[in-house]
Chains A and B, each alone.
Chain A
């Protein structure tokens, strides 16, 4: 694992060369003779460099074109931001889950549940947004084609993998919370039942309730309903995530297969390019072939028509 850093030596030589280049320019009164035979064809750049502290990006693309990244890069940043947001929110949600499961009574119970619900909704939304942005990246890069399409596909793959991992984790947490809440509620239910000596199943058979008993039944019914609602909501969010998961799965590469080899992918690119070139050539040939054919058909039709006219003309004379 030995390594050697040559950066210092490199920069030293580079600065020396650049200084020589600039002073050489000044010394010659701005004439554009260069001190080295090796560097070529960038005279305009050297003129621009004089006296100006250099920033690395300024001269990209021959100085004339600024290297503003394509729009899809913003989408990538967006997804990255969303990813870190999701991780953060999931942390918060996790602690909320913990406190919720820890509390059995209290007025803020409902409040807490509403909060958890909102948070879950937020996170699911974020997942959906991220997925959409990802699709946009794919579409945008595919349109441009070539190298950028490869980059786009790779970006999609890597982000999809991250998203997938996150969503799997999220789903697992949701499920755990769900089962926790369920266990707690059923536990609490059993407790109330035993405390008041009521079996819920018997309520239909027995009539003559006293008022306290009725009140308990009402309470329990309300609890059952709210619980159902809650569970339905969580289940829905899990379902939604599931669909995102499925869509992402198409993008993620299976590890250990030939598709996961770097050289194979590079060869595939070359192959595709070759194929593309072949098809272009074919198309060109087709096009070339079609034109003379059209001419021939046109001309033969004309000849045919003229021939008929000629025949008609001769016939009339007779």
Chain B
């Protein structure tokens, strides 16, 4: 169960198969481009003789779409090459393929679909392949972007609107998004070769139920889903149960970069940050190619500082031994030349992390995130309205806190004290603090979306923890103090995982579609899919959970997208 390795294997099989030996072209669509870019690198595919990567669906990269008169010129240019098409099984792609096959630009076509192709589409393509150019048609189930080995995203936006509309008359508007999410989930199961022995869903979400039911039906009806494996639980969740996590400031590397700078399919744009060298304006943070990042993507800001310092020291030590100034003999020089490329790539890596760290530290300083985050954590974890109101008023009036942070604090307060009489006061104070009216309206939107009436139990310990355990917990924290004030909060997902691990996840909050649960029936593998998007904080918790339960239980987390507070609020804004 390793998402990155699995997709990488698929891609390797596609581009280095015996039947496609020789010079070749990779034809992709918008989404498969993201998959391929996240799993493999340009130099990798170049070494497999893939000399052109092109989009089948864009005019500028596919001249055949643009200008039908120009086709003779094109076919002479690339007619000697084989084309490998790696596409999602959509009608649009099938149409594009038909177009391509009637005006072929390449000598052979090897078609790979990322999901299950309907018989109709297969027939459409087959009947239009008059020149018999298609050599193979296969389904390779890599219909998702693997970010970490246990984190998967489908990279589709506006899924919150989809989850809200499920079961209502507006569901049809989001039918294609729903299809997309369902197919993504199916391909996760297929690529990992797991047949769930139990399927559960979140009772508070109509969408989770529908999706769990549909996937179950597909599994039963299509034998491609049938594998022999250990007990495996498929859990379909919905973002609605935990609107708090995406609103919090983050302090682990990957999550922090995403929250403050934006981490989009492993790419970070540093352009516009002060003191950033030209070649570092856009950098890649991928756990497959960057060992340092893989080791430290879940370490917190303090640990990260130390790790980067160590990285720098190691690098310095290495350059010292191979210093250009003390090259006395020819052997020394030759040795230096041999190590030079390695040193150079290492230097790029070091400067990348130092630049990122510098920018993160600067943002933390400028936005006084230390103060903000401490209060956020208190709002998320403790129940003390009078103190919180006072502190919130203080923060909202402060000059040092940026407007978006004020908005987040207001929203967190509203979620915590939904029926408080202070909400009006908070709103007017936010207005005074510079938050625009449109943003203040989000307070009502978020309460409508995930207020205590619409969300399930679990948030703020409601329903899952009894009064006794809450009391002991608050007593323990007041006696011992907390280890790290910036990391007190645990997402609802983490509690859910622990309940699963103990076999205590309740039937009424997470009913079964298939299979039965009990204390002695703890699954050894869990696939979680969260419609509406996950966060890197949850990913960090899942990976921590996997580490502590190594060998006993393994969890893979998938989501429609990966949220930071900006993207989460944007999606909320688009809600009716």
Contact = CB atoms under 8 A, between A and B. Distances in A.
Interface stretch (A67-75, A104-112, A286-294): A67-75
Contacts of B72: 61-62, 64-65
B36 A7 contact: no
Interface in A171-205: 172, 175
Interface stretch (A10-18, A90-98, A299-307): A10-18
A41 B348 CA distance: 54
Q: How large is the interface on B (under 10, 10 to 19, 20 to 34, 35 or more residues)?
A: 35 or more
B224 A147 contact: no
B139 A258 contact: no
Nearest to B5: A1
A87 interface: no
Interface stretch (B54-62, B237-245, B452-460): B54-62
A212 interface: no
A39 interface: yes
A257 B53 CA distance: 18
A255 B47 CA distance: 13
B139 A3 contact: yes
Contact of B77 (A10, A144, A259, A264): A144
A14 B130 CA distance: 8
B46 interface: yes
A146 B231 CA distance: 53
Contacts of B42: 253, 259-262, 265
Nearest to B50: A154
Interface in B1-16: 6, 9-10, 13
A33 to B, nearest CB: 15
A51 interface: no
A2 B126 contact: no
B132 A56 contact: yes
B127 A13 contact: yes
Nearest to A158: B46
A88 B50 CA distance: 25
Interface string B277-313: 0010011100001100000000000000000000000
Contacts of B78: 147-148, 151
A76 interface: yes
Contacts of B37: 261-264
Contacts of A2: 141, 190-191, 193, 224, 227
A148 B284 contact: no
Interface stretch (B117-125, B213-221, B314-322, B414-422): B117-125
A5 B318 CA distance: 50
Interface stretch (B100-108, B162-170, B428-436, B437-445): B100-108
Interface in B54-108: 54-55, 58, 60-61, 63, 71-72, 74-81, 98, 102-104, 107-108
A158 B107 contact: no
Contact of A255 (B43, B139, B141, B224): B43
Given A56-B108, A264-B282, A147 B63 contact: yes
Nearest to B75: A61
B137 A18 contact: no
B41 A260 contact: yes
B128 interface: yes
B6 A1 contact: yes
Nearest to A18: B130
B102 A39 contact: yes
B127 A36 contact: yes
Contacts of A172: 338
A82 B37 CA distance: 31
Interface in A133-182: 144, 146-148, 150-151, 154-155, 157-158, 161-162, 168, 172, 175
Nearest to B26: A262
Contacts of A10: 122, 125-126, 134, 137
Given A6-B138, A262-B40, A265-B53, A254 B190 contact: no
A31 interface: no
B501 interface: no
A164 to B, nearest CB: 9
B138 A175 contact: no
Nearest to A69: B80
B52 interface: yes
A54 B76 CA distance: 20
B52 A147 contact: yes
Interface residues of A, number: 76
B566 interface: no
A201 B126 CA distance: 86
Given A9-B122, A266-B61, A147 B77 contact: yes
Contact of B348 (A45, A161, A254): A254
Nearest to A35: B127
B390 interface: no
B197 interface: no
Nearest to B335: A175
A218 B223 CA distance: 86
B334 interface: yes
A266 to B, nearest CB: 6
Contacts of B80: 67-70, 73
Nearest to B340: A249
Contacts of B139: 3-6
Given A38-B128, A255-B41, A258-B282, A266 B77 contact: no
A182 to B, nearest CB: 11
A210 interface: no
B191 A1 contact: yes
A81 to B, nearest CB: 14
A150 B77 CA distance: 12
Task: Tell which of A13, A61, A76, A263 has the most Cβ of chain B within 10 Å.
Answer: A263
A6 B127 contact: no
Contact of B10 (A1, A13, A56, A175): A1
A172 B9 CA distance: 33
Contact of A39 (B128, B227, B289): B128
B60 A270 contact: yes
Interface string A249-280: 10011111111111111100110011000000
A307 B63 CA distance: 57
B33 interface: yes
A53 B351 CA distance: 61
A301 B125 CA distance: 67
Contacts of B76: 61, 65, 67-68, 70
A215 interface: no
Q: Top 9 A-B pairs ranked by shortest CB distance?
A: A67-B79, A69-B80, A158-B46, A61-B75, A13-B126, A17-B127, A263-B37, A4-B139, A14-B126
18 contacts: A3-B138, A5-B137, A7-B138, A39-B102, A41-B102, A60-B131, A67-B80, A67-B107, A151-B25, A154-B46, A157-B43, A161-B47, A256-B345, A257-B279, A258-B283, A261-B41, A261-B267, A266-B53
Interface of B: 6, 9-10, 13, 23, 25, 33-34, 36-37, 40-43, 45-47, 49-55, 58, 60-61, 63, 71-72, 74-81, 98, 102-104, 107-108, 116-117, 122-141, 190-191, 193, 224, 227, 265, 267, 279, 282-284, 289-290, 334, 337-338, 341, 344-345, 348-349
